[in-house]
Each structure stands twice: as structure tokens, then as C-alpha cells.
Amino acid sequence: MKQEAASLVIGADGIMGGALITRLASSGRKVLGTTRRPSTVTPERIFLDLREKLPDWDSLVPVQVAYICGGITSLDQCRQNPDESARINVQQTVALATTLLAQGARVVFPSTNLVFDGNSPYCAAEAAVCPQTKYGRQKAEAERRLLALGEAVAVVRFTKVLNPQVPLVKRWMQALRQQQPIYPFSDLVLAPVPLVFAVEAMGLIGEGRFSGIFQVSGDRDISYADLARHLARRLEADPDLVQPTTSVAAGVEMEHLPRHTTLDASRLQESFGLGPPGLATLLDDMGALR
């Protein structure tokens, strides 16, 4: 009897991977995920550690679409350990994708606005990449190699994806509820995308068998300080608890401070009717755990 083809989420332990599994399962599809934690392995959770030798998956159930959400996403880790992070984010990721493609799967790869230098707003998908961080360089190289593998690959570039479980936001919300001050940076900008929006876009791209580059972006850039102020108002917290600072004043070494992070997301809107989400949509999601 022929097995039902599954969707496979690499990195099911992460915030995006976990949310994507929920999104895919809601459509009634068979969904598998990978985990780096041996204690959490189940028939639906396959062990995979990109730091180790890749497994022989010849016996894996047929995979229709694989979403490669695993990897090192910390800019600091990539900067401090460039060789190890490049091995995971580039070499191992491309090797895994090659194996999955050879078995008949399609591949969806989440990437980042940091493949650009941030000098211009609403950067077009076809613009030349110009990364200024180790993480951005690794993502740009992974994109290049993956897209060269053929028409069964889709790259999805995201601006900053947020929800209440993202560590920075979680710390802010906890502090504001406890009437403690927070110190967001005024010299760092983002174009935030709600996590639920991000995984919906990924699911639609994978299920629609699309290829090439998509971009998912918030509708405008704001500073982290402005985001914190809006969040405080939404939580009805004392606005004086938001005490902006700069990365320099805080003694935080930033590899790069882009002027803009927005991306041209017109292909996403034309394909699925998903326009760039505004700040109100994000804050509605942030307030979900009040």
C-alpha cells in the first residue's frame, strides 16, 4: 500500500518550526518534524542534528515538501563561530536539501532581509545581495547554492518575525507586566512580521509548489524603541517604563546597523493576496497572552 506523502519540518523544536507544524497539520496533511533532542523522538519526530553526519533517510516516508527551518539564527553565534555556523547554515543545509530533492521532495528555505545591506527600503527580490553580517553572508550563500539545485526550491526571505514567545518580546512583556523598566534600542530598526503570518506564507508557498524567491515583510520600518512604546500602550503599561537607549550606550557591539529592513513583498501579495502586515496586526498577536 502506497504511503501518504508528508510535509517535513526541519527544526520542529524552534519557534518557527513548531508554529509551521501546527499550521500544516491544520490543513489535514501528514506532518513530520525533526528534533535535536533524543528524548523527544517519536514516530512523528525524527532525530536530526545538523552538527552531525546526516542520516540515511531511504526508509523515510515519502516527503512532498520539506521546510528547512533548522540552523543557527543568532547573529552573535555566527560572528563568533563563523566556521561552525557556516558548516551548519550552508554546507549541511545544502547537503540535506540535495538528499531530499533526490528523493522527490520540494524544498522551502526561510532566509532573511540581511542578505541585503539595508541602505534602501523595500529591496526587490531580484536585487543583488550585499550582506554585511556573517549570518547574512551564510544565508546568501545558502540561497545561491539551493536555487542552483533547480525548480523544486523556494527561498522565502523574512524581515523580523515576532510573536509573544520570541525571547526579547517575552522579556519585555514580563517586565512591563511587573512594572519594571525595559531599555529598547532606538538605533536599531525592524519591519516586524507576526509569526502566524509568516508560517501561513510558508505553508501556501510549499503547498502551491512555487519556486524561486518570495519576500515577506512588515509594511514599514520602526525602531525597537518605537515597537516597545506601542507594546506598552497595548498592554496598558506605564509608558515611562520604556526607557530607550542605543546599542553604543548599552555597550553592545553590533555587526551592522541597517538603515532599512523592509522588503518588496509584491510577489507574495500577487500570488496569495497577502499584503504586508501592519503594526496593529502584530500587536494583536502580541497581546494574545495577556
pLDDT in tens, 111-158: 999 999 999 999 999 999 999 999 999 999 999 999 999 999 999 999
Q: Are 125 and 213 in contact (CB under 8 A)?
A: yes
pLDDT for the residue numbered 1: 44
pLDDT for the residue numbered 272: 97
Measured CA distances, 246 to 73, 86, 260, 268 (Å):
23, 29, 17, 34
Rounded to a whole number of angstroms, the CA Rg of the chain reads: 19
Residue 285 falls inside a structural domain: no
The list of the chain residues with pLDDT below 70 reads: 1-3, 58-60, 287-290
CATH number of the CATH domain containing 94: 3.40.50.720
pLDDT in tens, 12-22: 999 999 999 99
DSSP-derived 3-state class of residue 143 = helix
Residue 28 falls inside a structural domain: yes
pLDDT for the residue numbered 59: 59
DSSP-derived 3-state class of residue 131 = coil
First to last CA, the chain: 48
d(CA 20, CA 23): 5
Residue 139 falls inside a structural domain: yes
d(CA 1, CA 169): 47
The label of the residue with cell 532566509 reads 111
Q: Are 23 and 37 in contact (CB under 8 A)?
A: no
Residue 32 falls inside a structural domain: yes
In the chain, how many domains are there? 1
E strand segments, the chain: 6-10, 31-35, 45-47, 63-68, 106-112, 153-158, 161-162, 189-190, 193-194, 212-216, 222-223
Instruction: Tell me the residue range of the domain where 95 lies.
Output: 6-162+192-220+261-278
Residue 105 falls inside a structural domain: yes
Residue 273 falls inside a structural domain: yes
Helix/strand number for the chain, H first, E second: 10, 11
Residue 98 falls inside a structural domain: yes
Length of the chain: 290
- Residues whose CB is less than 8 angstroms from the CB of residue 271 and which lie 6 or more positions away in sequence, other chains included: 204, 205, 208, 210, 214
Q: Pairing between strand 189-190 and 222-223?
A: antiparallel
Residue 35 falls inside a structural domain: yes
